[in-house]
Amino acid sequence: MTPPSAVAGALFAVSVEQALPTTLPERAIEVDVGVALPIAFGGLRKVLRACEDSAPSVVRAVADAHPSEWNRLFPGSMEGVADLGDLALSPSERRLHRESEQTYWILSVAARAIVETLRSTGRALVLHGAGECDLVSLRGMMRAAEWARLDGLKGTLLFTGWQMRRPHCATVFEARRREYLDSLSKRLRAPTAEGTCTRSSREVEPAVDLEGRYLRLVVDAAEERATRVAAAIHGIRSCFFTTNYEGALLAAEQGLRLMEGDPDARLASRVAQAWESLDTGFVTPAIEIDRSSLGDLEELKALFHRSIGVVQVFTGSHDEALASFAKGLECQVAPEMRARLHMFRALTMTKRLGELPQARAEVAAGLAALAQGTAEDRALQEGWLRNVGALTWFLERKLDKALVEEKQAMRCVGELHDASATHLKINLISNASYLQESARQFTDAINTWRRFEGISERWGVNFAKHHRYRLAGLEFAAGSHQDAIEHFQQAYVSAEALRDSFHRQVIAAELGRVFLDAGQMPSAVDWFARAEQHARDIGEPLMAAESLAGMGLAAERTDWAEPLRRALASSTWPKQTRALVDALARGDAAAIHALMPRPRTKLNRPFDSVSLY
C-alpha cells in the first residue's frame, strides 16, 4: 500500500507532543482543551467557541444547518428544534449495543465546523492540555483530521500536553484510557508523544449541561453523601447517551466509594429523595435506570457494578466486565436483579466472547433465580433471558431450538405493554424474521417483518428508514428486485427527511451497485453520484472513494487517481481500505467492481469513524 504521506496525508499535518514546542505556527488558533472532569464534549465546546470567534459566519452556517446537534453541544442555543433523540438512535443497554447514531451526528457536525474554519481562515489549530481532554471530544478531533485529509486541506493540527492527567479520573479506566490515546495517535497518523504522565490541579469548570451538573456533584466533597450517590446514578445514565465511558466509570467508582465506610441505615432512602430532587422525569428502555432502579444499599451497589460492567463491554474489556457483573451477583439482591446480571453475563459471553455453552449456563442460572421471584417484572426478566438463550442457539445454527426460545420469550411478554416489554417485543419480532431469513425462508421473513406495520400507526421516520431498508433487503434476496428497489428508495427518502447523510450514502451506494450489476449504467451513475456527494457531506474518505470508483465503472472510465487519493485519506477501516487501494492502484476494474458495497438486510452500521476500537 502506498504510504499515506505520499498522497493523502502530506497536506494536513498532525502532531502530538508532550511539551510545548519552542515555536508554534504563526496566527494559530490556540485552545486549552483540558477539563478537570471527563464531561462529554467539554474540550470540543472550547474548540468550537474558538472557531466561532475566528470564523463566525462559517460556524454559524454549520450550526444553522444542524440545529438539533448544535443544541446538544450548546444546550438552549437553538429554540424550537427537534430533539436529536427523535432523529437518531442511541445505544441499547439491554442488547449491549454500543453504537450511537446520536454521537456520530454530533461529532460529525463539530468536525465539519472545525474543518470549515481551518479552510476559511488558513490558520493552524493548536490544542493544549490534550491529555486532560475528554475522550469524546478527542474522537471528534480524530474525525476532523480524517475529513481534512479527504478535502486535501493544507493545514496543521497540533496537540500538546498529551501525557497530562486531569485531577478527576476513574482508576478502573486509567490503563484503557492510555490504550485509547495510543489508538487515537495512530488514527491521527502521528507518533505517540513520549514523556512522564503527571496529574494537573485544574479547577472544575461551570456545568453546561445535565451531565456536567451531575459529575460536578459527584466529586463535590461539600455535598451530602446521598446527593453525590444519586448524582452518580444520574451521571451514569447521562454518560451512556454521550458514549462517555470514562465519565460513567468515574461516577460509578465514586458512587461505590461513597457507600463504603460508616454504615448508614437511612442512606438508601436519602439517595431516593436526592434522586427525585435531581430527576427530570426522563425514562427510556434504552437504559433502564430510573426511580424503580433504586433500592437498599445492596441493590445500589449491584446497580453500580452492573453499570461498570456494561461500560467495560462497550470498551472491549470483556473479562473485566464479567467480573463486574459477578460482583453485582455477590450483593444481596432480589431474584429479578440477579436474573438481569446473569443476562448481562450471558450476553457478554455470547456477543463478545463466543462462549455459547457457558452463556446458556448463565441463562439457566438466571431462570433458576427467577423461580424464587414474585416481583411484577418477573415475566419480563424471563423474556429477556430467553431471548439471549435463543441467540446462543442461533449462533450455533440450531434454528429450531432458537425458535422455541423466541416463542417462549414472546409468551412471557405477550400481555405486557410497558416500554421495556415493547422494546423486547420489537427485538423478538425482528429475531423471528432473522431466523427465517437464515433458513432462507424469505417469504416468511418478509411476512414476519411486516407485522410491524400493524402494530402501530405512529412509527416515526427513523423507524420507517430501518423498516423499509430491511424489507427491501429481504425482497432483493427473494428475487423481487423491483419491489426491493422501490423500498430501498423509500428508505432513502426517510433518511433524506431526517437530513441523515450517513444512511443516504449507504443506501445510494448500494443502489448504485444494484444498477451496475444489472447493466443499467445511467441509473448506476446517478446513484453513485448521490452516494459520492453524501460521502463528502460527512467527510468519509473510504465511502467517497468507493462511490467515485463506482461512478467510474458505470461511466467506463479508466483514470482512478482521484478515488485512490480519497481512499488513501481513510484511517478508519484499514482492511477495506487496503483492498480498495490495491485494486485502484492496479487499475483492476473487475476487482474494483467486486469491492462495491452490496445491499444488506440490516441498515445498522458501526460508526467506526468516531470510535477508538
How wide is the angle at C-alpha 481 spanned by C-alphas 476 and 483, nearest 5°? 95
pLDDT digits (tens, 9 = 90+) for 507-533: 999 999 999 999 999 999 999 999 999
CB count within 10 Å of CB 289 equals 22
Query: What domain count does the chain have?
Result: 4
Exposure string for 113-132, b = 16+ CB within 10 A, e = fewer: bbbbbbeebebbbbbbbbbb
pLDDT at 497: 96
194 with 225, same domain: the answer is no
154, 172, 199 - which closes a domain: 199
pLDDT at 10: 56
Is residue 347 domain-resident? yes
pLDDT digits (tens, 9 = 90+) for 174-207: 999 999 999 999 999 998 877 777 788 899 999 9
53 with 184, same domain: the answer is yes
172 with 219, same domain: the answer is no
Between the alpha carbon of residue 553 and those of residues 43, 183, 534, 564, the distances in Å are: 43, 35, 19, 14
271 with 326, same domain: the answer is yes
Cβ burial, residue 549 (10 Å; 0-12/13-18/19+): buried
142, 170, 199 - which closes a domain: 199
Is residue 467 domain-resident? no
Could you list the residue range(s) of the whole structural domain that residue 48 is in? 13-78+88-199
pLDDT at 304: 98
pLDDT at 456: 59
46 with 176, same domain: the answer is yes
pLDDT digits (tens, 9 = 90+) for 419-476: 889 889 999 999 999 999 999 999 999 999 999 887 755 678 999 999 999 999 999 9
pLDDT at 262: 73
Which grid coordinates belong to 522? 445511467
pLDDT digits (tens, 9 = 90+) for 356-366: 999 999 999 99
Q: Is the pLDDT of residue 28 over 60?
A: yes
pLDDT digits (tens, 9 = 90+) for 470-508: 999 999 999 999 999 999 999 999 999 999 999 999 999
Tell me the whole-structure pTM to 2 decimals: 0.95
Question: With bands split at pLDDT 50, 70 and 90, how would you rate the model's confidence at 22?
Answer: confident
Contacts of 138 (CB under 8 A, 6+ apart): 43, 130, 181, 184
Q: Is the pLDDT of residue 4 over 50?
A: no
115 with 18, same domain: the answer is yes
Is residue 36 domain-resident? yes
173, 199, 225 - which closes a domain: 199
Is residue 475 domain-resident? no
Give dist(CA 310, CA 255) in Å, integer.
Answer: 16
Average the pLDDT over 85-94 and give the result: 95
155 with 62, same domain: the answer is yes
